[in-house]
């Protein structure tokens, strides 16, 4: 660390390249936490320049400094923190007019600020040109540094500008409103100075008071009505945009007005019918590669695991370790955790595909296309964004529901989002579709993802009809430019997700595997060599009459489902522990163990089991997140029971109808 530390808030619109620039500046030197009092992720990074250590804080993407959403509140609180020395405003050069509105608001804070003018390569591709001499002049001569976050161009110049502007201190005013507004601002500033003499942002607060910002008035009560008896928000916004238009007229030159690549591609990908077709085709391709390449690498890891297991047995026997301890370590810990580790290739390919689709700008198009479908079930395409996140992990997907303005819509989205198949369920699909469907494994897994989506939409439709009033939110979403995915951003995303996966394997899954082993090896009479006399068997057999209509007539599957509430990957590790104890040889395949326990277990049973795993009670982390976001245990318990009922109903229908068709 250097002698001096500069604290920098990285602020910008969504999809402006802020995260890519943040990663380019900080590399892998990241610190992830939550903002105080909220569950929005807080990411900090550090970089050294000359004698300074620069602490960068990545804030949520926002369009303005209003306080309508939690992201806006978090970002506003961050940049108004007295410890923030410099604001790094990341601006998308290809959408200059939209981005400059936030810039105008930031300038009113008078804090030292540097603009990183990103995506200049897109500007050049369109045949545009930006006057980089006139633009700073019209924004108060603040430093404006053209950068390419994806190519890491302009990084050192940007760091130099941050240090230099930090040393220069606060900026001067750059924009004046009409005489009427300025007169009211001046009077409010005087009142603010008298009431709060140490307050740092008097002009900004005066503007927000004129706009009728309730949170500002609550934090700093003042008699605004003596100065303004109505809200001037509309007039202030209009005057800001009028000035922004004058900036655009002077600095932006259009050399080529032909439709660019994004517009041409969007003719197909955002089409109400073709858009859906392409979405499903893209996801099918994703699963094809997830299984073809992933299964090949998975086979190699399985061979390694068998070798490690055999060597471990020999090592423990050489040490004369007790048989029960050998069983716990090999049949419990190693079988459980090792069985999960073999799915790393499949998980990595899925995360890679999702990261590529997100970073390329495609995922926003999916929400836009789904707006029509979601509208028919009483929700907007905005509600589909958490559902898309659910393909990766349900926890951040539930957190993302806070973007919905209606509390009723938030709760409905929280109910249906867990039906989306998260990555933790993928090992279950890979295992059973590989064993029972072989060459059609990727199609079977794709059908489960599609089934989860259909069940979610159908559920939303039913809930909407039960609701007396249903007011559809208007979808306002930015469709960013298509761009070449940044390899560094992709690498960080995939490695972070895999690290989380491995962490669960080393903690939750390890502990769950040992608990399952204990349940299988201990019963009312103490330690037992016969798992059918264990506590696990007693518990499973009590519930088998309930699960039998769904094709699950063996207590081992029931125990595996119960264990999956801790984490869905645990279902696979539990099955490895459960059926390796049943098989004559611990190294025999899981399929052999299943056949010994349930000789009639077929592909239909396997599909019903995967369906149950898709739809039933979400993992403990998701349950905790639902409770935190809804602030209601009553609602959370209802969600748990509802999803358990849906899982039983759908899997039972599939198994019973399938059995009738086979019989015919």
CB 439 within 8 A of CB 395: no
Pair (226, 155) in one structural domain: no
Q: Report how many domains make up the chain.
A: 3
- Read off the tokens for 207: 């503007």
Pair (187, 229) in one structural domain: yes
Instruction: Of 321, 316, 338, 328, give the one whose Cα is nearest residue 514.
Output: 328
Pair (205, 107) in one structural domain: no
pLDDT for 163-193, tens place per residue? Answer: 988 877 777 767 888 998 889 888 888 888 8
Beta bridge partners of 118: 92
HEC string for 285-351: HHHHHHHHHHHHHHHHHHHHHHHHHHHHHHHHHHCCCCHHHHHHHHHHHHHHHHHHHCCHHHHHHHH
Pair (241, 280) in one structural domain: no
The phi, psi pair for 27, rounded to 5°, reads: 65, -130
| 145, 168, 191 - which closes a domain | 168
Pair (295, 153) in one structural domain: no
Pair (403, 518) in one structural domain: yes
CB 8 within 8 A of CB 57: yes
Pair (414, 362) in one structural domain: yes
Whether 263 is covered by a domain: the verdict is no
Whether 268 is covered by a domain: the verdict is no
The phi, psi pair for 129, rounded to 5°, reads: -145, 135
Pair (226, 149) in one structural domain: no
- Read off the tokens for 608: 């019903």
The phi, psi pair for 174, rounded to 5°, reads: -125, -15
| Largest pairwise CA distance in the chain | 91
Whole-angstrom distance, CA of residue 322 vs CA of residue 316: 9
Pair (523, 659) in one structural domain: yes
Domain residues for the domain of 631 are 274-663
Whether 513 is covered by a domain: the verdict is yes
Whether 534 is covered by a domain: the verdict is yes
Look at residue 7 and give its three-state secondary structure: strand
User: Helix crossing, 155-168 with 18-26: angle to 10°?
Assistant: 90
Whether 415 is covered by a domain: the verdict is yes
Task: Kindly calculate the radius of gyration of the chain based on its CA atoms and give it in whole angstroms.
Answer: 29
Whole-angstrom distance, CA of residue 240 vs CA of residue 244: 6
Q: What's the CATH code of the domain at 94?
A: 3.40.50.300
The backbone region for 239, taken as left when phi is positive above 0, alpha when psi lies in -120 to 50, beta otherwise, is alpha
Whole-angstrom distance, CA of residue 90 vs CA of residue 253: 21
* CB half-sphere exposure, 83, CA atoms < 13 A: 8
Instruction: Of 244, 278, 298, give the one whose Cα is nearest residue 572.
Output: 298
Whether 485 is covered by a domain: the verdict is yes
Residue position matching structure tokens 């599909």: 607
* Count of C-beta atoms within a 10 Å radius of residue 563: 26
120, 186, 187, 190, 230 from 183: Cα distances, Å? 39, 5, 6, 11, 15
Pair (207, 126) in one structural domain: no
Which DSSP string do the residues of 584-623 spell out, in sequence order? Answer: SSTTS-HHHHHHHH-TT--HHHHHHHHHHHHHS---HHHH
Pair (140, 226) in one structural domain: no
- Per-residue pLDDT, 586: 37
pLDDT for 110-148, tens place per residue? Answer: 888 999 999 888 788 778 889 999 999 899 888 999 988
- Per-residue pLDDT, 588: 46
85, 236, 658 from 158: Cα distances, Å? 15, 31, 63
| 143, 168, 193 - which closes a domain | 168
Is the full-model pTM beyond 0.75?
no
- Per-residue pLDDT, 8: 92
Pair (596, 555) in one structural domain: yes
First to last CA, the chain: 75
- Per-residue pLDDT, 551: 92
CB 40 within 8 A of CB 33: no
Whole-angstrom distance, CA of residue 649 vs CA of residue 640: 14
Q: How many residues does the chain have?
A: 664
Look at residue 119 and give its three-state secondary structure: coil
CB 570 within 8 A of CB 617: no
Whether 262 is covered by a domain: the verdict is no
The backbone region for 137, taken as left when phi is positive above 0, alpha when psi lies in -120 to 50, beta otherwise, is alpha
Whether 260 is covered by a domain: the verdict is no
- Per-residue pLDDT, 651: 96
Residue position matching structure tokens 């609701």: 467
Low-confidence ranges of the chain (pLDDT < 70): 1-3, 28-41, 67-68, 82, 173, 255-261, 331-332, 335-336, 339-340, 380-382, 403, 405, 468-478, 505, 580-589
- Read off the tokens for 314: 């020999």
- Read off the tokens for 412: 């409905």
């Amino acid at each position: 660390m250097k002698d001096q530390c500069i604290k920098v808030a990285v602020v910008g619109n969504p999809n402006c390249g802020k995260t890519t620039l943040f990663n380019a500046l900080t590399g892998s030197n990241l610190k992830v936490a939550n903002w105080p009092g909220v569950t929005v992720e807080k990411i900090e990074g550090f970089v050294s320049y000359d004698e300074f250590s620069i602490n960068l804080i990545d804030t949520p993407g926002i369009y303005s400094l209003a306080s309508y959403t939690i992201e806006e509140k978090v970002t506003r609180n961050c940049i108004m923190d007295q410890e923030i020395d410099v604001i790094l405003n990341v601006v998308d050069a290809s959408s200059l007019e939209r981005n400059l509105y936030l810039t105008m608001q930031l300038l009113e804070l008078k804090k030292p600020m540097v603009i990183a003018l990103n995506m200049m390569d897109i500007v050049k591709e369109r045949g545009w040109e930006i006057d980089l001499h006139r633009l700073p002049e019209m924004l108060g001569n603040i430093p404006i540094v053209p950068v390419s976050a994806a190519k890491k161009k302009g990084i050192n110049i940007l760091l130099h500008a941050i240090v230099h502007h930090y040393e220069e201190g606060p900026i001067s005013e750059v924009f004046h409103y009409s005489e009427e507004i300025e007169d009211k601002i001046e009077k409010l500033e005087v009142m603010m100075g008298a009431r709060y003499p140490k307050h740092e942002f008097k002009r900004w607060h005066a503007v927000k008071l004129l706009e009728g910002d309730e949170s500002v008035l609550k934090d700093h009560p003042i008699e605004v009505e003596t100065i303004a008896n109505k809200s001037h928000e509309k007039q202030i916004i209009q005057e800001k945009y009028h000035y922004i238009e004058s900036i655009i007229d002077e600095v932006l030159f259009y050399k080529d007005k032909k439709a660019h690549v994004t517009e041409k591609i969007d003719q197909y990908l955002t089409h109400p019918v073709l858009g859906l077709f392409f979405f499903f085709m893209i996801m099918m391709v994703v699963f094809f590669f997830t299984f073809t390449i992933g299964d090949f690498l998975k086979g190699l890891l399985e061979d390694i695991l068998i070798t490690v297991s055999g060597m471990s047995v020999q090592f423990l026997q050489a040490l004369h370790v007790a048989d029960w301890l050998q069983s716990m370590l090999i049949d419990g810990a190693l079988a459980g955790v090792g069985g999960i580790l073999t799915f790393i290739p499949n998980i990595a390919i899925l995360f890679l595909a999702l990261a590529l689709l997100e970073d390329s700008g495609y995922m926003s198009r999916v929400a836009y296309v789904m707006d029509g479908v979601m509208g028919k079930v009483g929700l907007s395409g905005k509600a589909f964004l958490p559902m898309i996140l659910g393909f990766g992990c349900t926890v951040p997907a539930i957190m993302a529901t806070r973007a919905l303005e209606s509390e009723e819509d938030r709760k409905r989205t929280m109910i249906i989002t867990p039906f989306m198949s998260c990555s933790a369920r993928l090992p279950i699909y890979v295992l059973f579709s590989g064993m029972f469907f072989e060459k059609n494994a990727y199609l079977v897994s794709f059908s489960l993802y599609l089934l989860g989506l259909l069940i979610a939409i159908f559920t939303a439709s039913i809930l909407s009809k039960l609701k007396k009033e249903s007011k559809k939110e208007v979808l306002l979403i930015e469709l960013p430019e298509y761009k070449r995915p940044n390899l560094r951003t992709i690498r960080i995303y995939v490695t972070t997700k895999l690290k989380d996966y491995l962490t669960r394997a080393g903690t939750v899954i390890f502990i769950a595997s040992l608990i399952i082993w204990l349940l299988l090896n201990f019963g009312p009479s103490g330690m037992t060599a016969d798992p059918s006399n264990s506590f696990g068997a007693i518990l499973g057999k009590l519930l088998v009459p309930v699960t039998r209509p769904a094709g699950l007539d063996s207590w081992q599957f029931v125990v595996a489902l119960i264990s999956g509430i801790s984490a869905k990957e645990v279902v696979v590790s539990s099955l490895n522990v459960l059926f390796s104890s049943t098989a004559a040889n611990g190294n025999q395949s899981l399929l052999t163990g299943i056949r010994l326990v349930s000789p009639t277990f077929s592909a239909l049973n396997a599909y019903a089991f995967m369906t149950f795993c898709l739809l039933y009670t979400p993992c403990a982390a998701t349950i905790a997140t639902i409770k935190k976001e809804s602030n209601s245990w009553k609602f959370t318990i209802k969600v748990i029971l509802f999803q358990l009922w849906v899982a039983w109903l759908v899997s039972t229908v599939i198994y019973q109808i399938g059995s009738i068709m086979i019989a015919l």
